[in-house]
Amino acid sequence: MTTLSIIKADTGGFVGHSEVHPDMLSAAGDAVRDAVTRGLLIDGQVSRCGDDISLIMTHEHGADAEAVHSFAWNTFLRTTEIAKKLGLYGAGQDLLSDAFSGNLRGMGPGYAELEFTERPSEPVLCFLADKTEPGAWNLPLYKMFADPFNTAGLVIDSKMHAGFRFEVYDLYQDKRIVFDTPREIYDLLMFIGAPARYVVHSVQSVTLDIPAAATSTQRLSLMADKYVGKDDPVMIVRCQSGLPAVGEVLEPFAFPYSVAGCMRGSHHAPIMPVGLAQATPARFDGPPRVVALGFQITDGKLIGPRDMFADPSFDRARTMANEVMDYLRRHGPFEPHRLALEDLEYTTMRELEQRLADRWQPMHTETRVPAQTR
Ligand code: F6R
Ligand code: MG
Ligand code: MG
């Protein structure tokens, strides 16, 4: 079995929250090459989207492996040191804990991991996003694996007719549930249409009985109990031969749907699919970006990446994202550009409510006429 792990963290931004400094990428690259030489990893690459570094690694240790997670943690400590030395912004931002213990759960860095037996040819897409949250994958995952208007294979390929199984996490209550599609699509949509709370964690093929997709699902604000930056999620999707084709997996991003994130993690904004060269959110710390790195995995080796969104077929999504951004920005601090209050409660709202608690007065003194005299 091969495990593909993407482990990511924001350990400092260059400039502000817009990019990762090249020195940090090169230090992470050295660490990954060394881990391959030592035999910890079969293969590994370093990439980035906005201010987040992603370690893309193949190995045989399975998901949640201490050896791999502690390697990533130590690598992020190293990139944090560089960020501190260069005075970069938010150095060590996502490292919430002082010491590593066992695995990265609850410690800040995000990760998506998929353990599988390699098929004769194994095309995989690694998605990295910046300035948004894990629920941002709900809509595209639904379209890829459950919407025949997106994925022709659901109709045309008999291996896909039995559908896909979605595992959904409730991030507020630490519970999980599994839905079978197409039978339960309405139940599924009821939950995943609320992506701040319900997040698709994984998808499995019913017919092939193999894992098809995995996402990172932590929410930093829920862990730290305050705003500490958005979670900037990652996702792995296997493609072809009874799974959605590469083009079907990319297709949902031709529509720049609205996600939560952007400036101060507090706004709805369109997600913009971009090539790596454009994965540098500038305007209003946004619009949120997504890159798709394509690999063929062969004997555990990462053959790639191909920069899948660096393609003119996504130009119109980018143009539309800019238009939608203009429209939303004109709302300034008003909803629906700004997030609804319940999604802001882990940021400043609670503090503000406490500060103003004494100034709120009842709106009416008791002037209501008793019922029997009406
Ligand atoms: C988005 C993000 C930024 C910051 C913003 C303010 O995920 O991290 O939008 O929230 O740049 O940052 P501070 O408060 O550090 O000045
Ligand atoms: Mg940052
Ligand atoms: Mg980020």
Q: What is the number of the ligand closest to the CA of 265?
A: 1
| Rounded CA separation 109/138 (Å) | 20
Asked whether the predicted pLDDT for residue 252 surpasses 90, the reply is yes
Per-residue pLDDT at 332 exceeds 70: yes
91 has a pLDDT exceeding 90: yes
Q: Which atom of ligand 1 is nearest to the CA of 16?
A: 11
pLDDT at 228: 62
Find the mean pLDDT for residues 98-115: 90
The percentage of the chain sitting over the pLDDT mark of 70, rounded to a whole number, equals 94
Residue nearest to atom 13 of ligand 1 (CA): 264
How far the first Cα of the chain sits from its last, in Å, is: 78
The pLDDT value given to residue 348: 72
Q: Whose CA is nearest to atom 2 of ligand 1?
A: 264
Q: How confident is the model at residue 195 (pLDDT cuts 50, 70, 90)?
A: very high
pLDDT digits (tens, 9 = 90+) for 21-56: 999 999 999 999 999 999 999 999 999 999 999 999
pLDDT above 80: residue 222: no
Q: Looking at ligand 1, which atom is closest to the CA of residue 131?
A: 7
Greatest CA separation found in the chain?
A: 89
Query: What pLDDT score does 369 carry?
Result: 62
| Cβ of 131 less than 6 Å from ligand 1 | yes
Task: Check whether 242 has a pLDDT greater than 70.
Answer: yes
Residue nearest ligand 1's atom 5 by CA:
264
17, 268, 289, 347: which to mutate for ligand 1, most atoms within 8 A of CB?
A: 17
* Per-residue model confidence as pLDDT tens digits over 134-158: 999 999 999 999 999 999 999 999 9
Is there an atom of ligand 1 within 6 Å of 267 CB? no
How many Cβ atoms sit within 10 Å of the Cβ of residue 182?
Answer: 16
Instruction: Catalytic residue, from 230, 285, 307, 343: name it.
Output: 230
Report d(CA 298, CA 123) in Å as an integer. 9
Amino acid at 343: D
Rounded mean pLDDT, 270-280: 98
- Nearest ligand atom owner, CA of 53: 3
Q: What is the residue with the minimal CA distance to atom 10 of ligand 1?
A: 264
pLDDT digits 0-9 by tens, 160-189: 999 999 999 999 898 999 999 999 999 999
User: Whose alpha carbon is nearest atom 4 of ligand 1?
Assistant: 264
pLDDT score recorded for residue 219? 72
Question: Which residues are within 8 A (CB) of 273 and not within 5 positions of it... i.e. 6 or more apart?
Answer: 250, 253, 254, 256, 289, 290, 291, 292, 309, 314, 317, 318
Q: Work out the pLDDT band at 9, boundaries 50, 70, 90.
A: very high
**Mean pLDDT for the chain overall:** 94
The answer to whether residue 255 scores a pLDDT higher than 70 is yes
How does residue 366 score in pLDDT terms, banded at 50, 70 and 90? low
Atom of ligand 1 nearest to the CA of 227: 10
Which parts of the chain are beta strand (E)?
Answer: 2-9, 43-49, 52-59, 110-116, 123-130, 164-170, 175-181, 198-205, 211-215, 234-238, 258-261, 267-270, 272-273, 289-298, 301-307
Whether ligand 1 lies within 6 angstroms of the CB of 338 is answered as: no
Q: 17 CB under 6 A from ligand 1?
A: yes
Q: How far is the CA of 307 from the centre of ligand 3 (A)?
A: 19
Distance CA 54, CA 72 (A): 10
For residue 119, the model assigns a pLDDT of: 98
Predicted TM-score (pTM) of the model is: 0.95
Mark whether 10 is an active-site residue.
Answer: yes
Average confidence (pLDDT) over 57-62: 98
From residue 238, alpha-carbon distances to 16, 145, 200, 208, 242 in Å are 34, 11, 15, 13, 10
Known catalytic membership, residue 230: yes
Query: Tokens representing 229?
Result: 């930056």
